[in-house]
Amino acid sequence: MRTYSFAPISAREYPTLYILENPFIWGGVGFCLNVSEKPYPPEIIEVMKRKGIAWYHIPISETDFTKSWSYSLYHGLQLLAEAYTAGKKIIVHCDFGNNRSRTFIEAFHFYLTGEELLDEYKGEINHFAYNCRIGHLSPLDVEEAKILNIRRSVCSEE
């Protein structure tokens, strides 16, 4: 599985039973964050349990601009940080792995490093910054300040 260089994390499409059984994609994965609107059907949950993959669903809408992604983003960052600290390989997915999943991963990179990430994974724009610009999140400087405050509070608890 191709991962980002800063962490064992990958952006993927919504899993099918066939894809879940592919060891080149899902082999060794320990945590999955689903940020699509769709919950998992029972057969997907059964395969994840059998493979020992912990998962969490944070439904995010790309079309409803009345709901900010901010709260969901911070909840997701907490879950990603816990999985990362535990040394787990991580998959974040939405429907196609092209926007919501990469937004969470790029915000997680900022959480870890305090630096913005140019998307080396698929060679496109920084989706975290893009979604701040189009209104799914607050302005970038506001979101970045919140993330740094969260990181500082977590580090001071350790």
Each residue of 107-152: pLDDT tens digit?
A: 999 999 998 887 554 555 788 988 888 888 989 999 999 999 888 7
Choose between 52 and 96: higher pLDDT: 52
Instruction: Give a yes or no: residue 4 inside a domain.
Output: no
The predicted structure's pLDDT at residue 127: 87
Stretch 93-97: mean pLDDT: 91
Residue whose C-alpha is closest to residue 115's, from 71, 139, 78, 151: 151
Q: Is residue 1 part of a domain?
A: no
Total of domains in the chain: 1
Residue 59 token pair: 């439904």
Q: What is the pLDDT of residue 158?
A: 60
- Element (DSSP H or E) covering residue 150: helix 140-157
Instruction: Identify whether 147 is part of a domain.
Output: yes
Range of the structural domain that residue 79 is part of: 9-157
Q: How confident is the model at residue 155 (pLDDT cuts 50, 70, 90)?
A: low
Neighbour order of strands in the sheet with 89-93 = 9-12, 89-93, 29-34, 54-57
Q: What is the pLDDT of residue 145?
A: 93
Asked if the model's pLDDT at residue 89 lies above 90, the reply is: yes
| Residue 65 in domain | yes
pLDDT for res 68 = 73
pLDDT at 117: 81
pLDDT tens digits for range 1-43: 788 889 999 999 999 999 999 999 899 999 999 999 999 999 9
Q: Half-sphere exposure of 99 toward its Cβ, with a 13 Å CA cutoff?
A: 12
The mean per-residue pLDDT over the stretch 66-82 comes to 88
Residue 157 clears pLDDT 70, i.e. is over it: no
CATH of the domain at 59: 3.90.190.10
Residue 2 included in any domain:
no
Q: Is residue 35, in this structure, part of any structural domain at all?
A: yes
pLDDT of residue 150: 84
Q: In sequence order, what are the residues at sequence separation of 6 or more whose Cβ sits closer than 8 angstroms to the Cβ of residue 48?
A: 20, 32, 40, 55
